[in-house]
Structure formats: C-alpha cells, structure tokens
C-alpha cells in the first residue's frame, strides 16, 4: 500500500509540530505545481517588472510562488519567521511559532519560458519567536527538502537521517516513492557552467580538465557534462544517479561570496546530499558548517557523489 506524505510524517519525526510545518510546505509546493502547469495559458511566464534584493529581475511566477508560500505558512501557527529569496527582510508570521522556514520559492526561474524543470527549495530551523536567531549554520537544520516540477512533481525530504522521495498522485496528494535514497559514491557525470571557465580558480580548472581528459587522464574514465541551469533539476539527477554539481567561487563572483545563496539553496541541498551519503563543500569548508552573516549570503557550492567531491577537495588542499 502506498503511504501518503502525512502517514510517512507520522513516523519519520517525533515532533508533530515539525511534521505539521513540513506538511504545510508540501501544501504550498502542490499549489505552486498546479499554478506552473497552467502558467503559459494564464500569461504568467513573463517578468514581474520588479527587482529583488539581490538585483535579479523577478519573474511573475517568482512573485506568485512567494505569495503562495507566505499564505500557507502564515496559516501555520508553528511558523514565526519566513526568509525568502524574494523578500528583502525576514517576514514575521506568527508570534508563538517555534520554527523558521527559509525558502527559494522558485528555483531556476530563467527556465520558465522554455518549460524546463524548476523547483522550490526549503530549510526548516528552530527559533525562539521572542528573539529569533536567523543566522544559524546548516548543521542546525531540522528538516530540508525541495520540490521538482518536472514531468512528475517530486518532493524530496530529509530530517537528517535519511532521504525520502514523494510524487503527486492523481488526487493532488504527495505519496511515498522511495524511503532511503542514497547517492552513488562514484559517477561519470559533472555539472558546471563551463562558459565561466575563464573565471575559475585553479582547483576547479584542474578538476574539470581531469574529467575532460576522460580515460586518457588521471580520472581514468570518460565523463559526460550536464548543466540544466535549475539547481533543483541538477541536484535531483545527482541524488538519483550520482554526479557532482559545482558553482564554485570564481573571480567574477568572489566579491559577492559566490552565486548561490547559503540559507535557502546551499544549506538545504547540502543537508539532503549528506543525508544521502554524499558530500557538500565550499571547496575549503563543509557547507553545513559555514556561519551565516546575513540572510541572503552567497557561498560557493560543490556537492554530490562522495568520491567526486573528494577529488575537488583534494585540489583545494593543494592550493
Ligand atoms: P534562481 O532561479 O532561484 O535565481 O536560481 C538560479 C540558480 C540555480 O538554479 C542554477 O543552478 C544557477 O542559478 C544557474 O546559473 P547560471 O545562470 O550561471 O547557469
Ligand atoms: Mn535558486
Ligand atoms: Mn528563485
């Protein structure tokens, strides 16, 4: 018998309140999935005409997805704070709530006009509602996950011990697909935006050069490159069949600290990948141990199959 998300949550965590927050986030994702499916006919795939705090042009669907998140979380008394890519400041929701949610409501939104998989990424932390600490390292996450809006809508979830995947069934509910996903330790696929090669540091250049050399180089095997441009879609592939994703610090992103955001992109993905047996690093440091200094902070991200990430880490140690 297929388990519903609610049934699975009842045994996956000992905290009914945390389960409630996850269930609320899943409800928001299900609504976003339904909106995305009809967006081209509703004329919602274009720009919103505004810029977010990070200087990025917001798409209509970035704003709509953020609004859906706000509405669902506001209705959950256990959530006191929402940090979102699309909100300049942390949003105070409920006075007594013991949880904070950090989210990227729509990841990969530059792919919306071409109907390629996009997603939602989320991280859940405990906070004191009277004095919320917004800047906690990723090791303190209680749960994290993402929804991938592809041919199927997938929800991938972890409380830190294991990773489970769900898919939306015919009635619009998430049902369990696999409990205990693990990332294969080795792989022959890597994901990096190679158009940025001239900005790369030595460690990144050396690792990619080894992969390009394939069976004629030190890696000793032939690689394929895959870059979707939606982190959720790239990470979902890696979680399912192995590989490595790199958005390293490069000479162009160095002044900002990197490209991807720590609280709602790097940390939740690092939490999932580690729970599935992979590794996640900035190059020199474990992502989950980075002490945040601001809610929209950016970091370098290198994560995936343990053996691949270890090879990149070895290059960083040589620098
Ligand atoms: P977002 O759409 O939330 O701003 O995130 C986009 C991110 C991530 O999804 C993806 O991996 C990366 O940006 C793509 O970067 P490039 O444009 O350099 O390919
Ligand atoms: Mn994103
Ligand atoms: Mn986004």
pLDDT tens for each residue of 7-20: 999 999 999 999 99
Average pLDDT, the chain: 96
Whether 1 shows a pLDDT value over 80: the answer reads no
pLDDT in tens, 68-85: 999 999 999 999 999 999
Q: How far is the CA of 260 from the centre of ligand 1 (A)?
A: 7
CA-nearest residue, atom 6 of ligand 1: 108
Whether 162 shows a pLDDT value over 90: the answer reads yes
Q: How far is the CA of 194 from the centre of ligand 1 (A)?
A: 14
| Maximum Cα interatomic distance, the chain, rounded to a whole number of Å | 61
R_g of the chain computed on alpha carbons: 19
Q: What is the pLDDT of residue 238?
A: 98
On whether the pTM is more than 0.85, the answer is yes
Positive or negative, the CA dihedral 5, 8, 11, 13 is negative
H-type alpha helices, 103-230: 202-213
Tell me: domain 5-179, CATH 3.30.540.10, correct?
yes
- Helices 267-275, 231-241: inter-axial angle, 10-degree rounding: 10
Q: What is the pLDDT of residue 84?
A: 98
Whether 23 shows a pLDDT value over 90: the answer reads yes
Of ligand 1's atoms, which has the minimum distance to the CA of residue 230?
A: 9
193 touches ligand 1 (CB under 6 Å): yes
CA distance 84 to 65: 11
Q: How far is the CA of 111 from the centre of ligand 1 (A)?
A: 9
Test site for ligand 1: of 108, 238, 256, most ligand atoms within 8 A of the Cβ: 108
Tell me: domain 189-318, CATH 3.40.190.80, correct?
yes
pLDDT in tens, 277-317: 999 999 999 999 999 999 999 999 999 999 999 999 999 99
Q: Of 23-32, 92-101, 106-115, 134-143, which range is least confident?
A: 106-115
* Domain boundaries, given as residue ranges, for the chain: 5-179, 189-318
62 touches ligand 1 (CB under 6 Å): no
Q: How far is the CA of 119 from the centre of ligand 3 (A)?
A: 8
- What backbone torsions phi and psi does residue 228 show, to the nearest 5 degrees? -90, -30
Residues with Cβ < 8 Å from 131, sequence gap 6 or more? none
Nearest to 247 by CA among 276, 274, 208, 219: 208
Label residue 191 exposed, middle or buried (CB < 10 Å: 0-12, 13-18, 19+): buried
109 touches ligand 1 (CB under 6 Å): yes
230 touches ligand 1 (CB under 6 Å): yes
The share of the chain scoring above pLDDT 70, in percent, equals 100
pLDDT in tens, 174-233: 999 999 999 999 999 999 999 999 999 999 999 999 999 999 999 999 999 999 999 999
266 touches ligand 1 (CB under 6 Å): no
226 touches ligand 1 (CB under 6 Å): no
How sure is the predictor about 319, in pLDDT bands with cuts at 50, 70 and 90?
Answer: confident
117 touches ligand 1 (CB under 6 Å): no
Q: How far is the CA of 108 from the centre of ligand 1 (A)?
A: 5
């Amino acid at each position: 018998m297929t388990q519903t998300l609610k049934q699975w949550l009842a045994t996956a965590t000992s905290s009914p309140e945390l389960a409630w927050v996850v269930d609320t986030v899943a409800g928001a994702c299900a609504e976003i999935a339904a909106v995305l499916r009809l967006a081209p006919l509703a004329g919602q795939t274009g720009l919103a005409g505004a810029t977010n705090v990070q200087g990025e042009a917001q798409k209509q669907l970035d704003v709509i997805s953020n609004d859906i998140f706000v509405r669902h979380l506001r209705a959950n008394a256990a959530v006191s704070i929402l940090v979102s890519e699309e909100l300049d400041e942390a949003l105070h929701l409920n006075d007594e709530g013991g949880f904070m949610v950090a989210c990227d409501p729509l990841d990969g939104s530059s792919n919306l006009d071409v109907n390629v998989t996009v997603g939602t990424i989320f991280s859940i932390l405990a906070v004191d509602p009277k004095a919320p600490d917004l800047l906690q390292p990723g090791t303190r996450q209680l749960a994290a996950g993402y929804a991938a809006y592809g041919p199927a809508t997938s929800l991938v979830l972890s409380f830190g011990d294991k990773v489970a995947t769900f898919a939306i069934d015919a009635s619009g509910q998430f049902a369990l697909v696999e409990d205990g996903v693990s990332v294969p330790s080795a792989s022959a696929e890597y994901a990096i935006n190679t158009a940025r090669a001239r900005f790369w540091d030595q460690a990144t250049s050396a690792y990619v050069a080894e992969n390009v050399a394939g069976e004629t180089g030190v890696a000793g095997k032939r690689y394929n490159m895959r870059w979707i441009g939606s982190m959720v879609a790239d990470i979902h592939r890696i979680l399912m069949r192995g590989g490595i994703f790199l958005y390293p610090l490069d000479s162009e992103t160095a002044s900002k600290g990197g490209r991807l955001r720590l609280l709602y992109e790097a940390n939740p993905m690092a939490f999932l990948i580690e729970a599935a047996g992979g590794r996640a690093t900035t190059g020199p440091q474990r992502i989950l141990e980075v002490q945040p200094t601001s809610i929209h902070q950016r970091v370098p991200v290198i994560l995936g199959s343990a053996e691949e990430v270890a090879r990149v880490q070895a290059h960083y140690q040589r620098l």
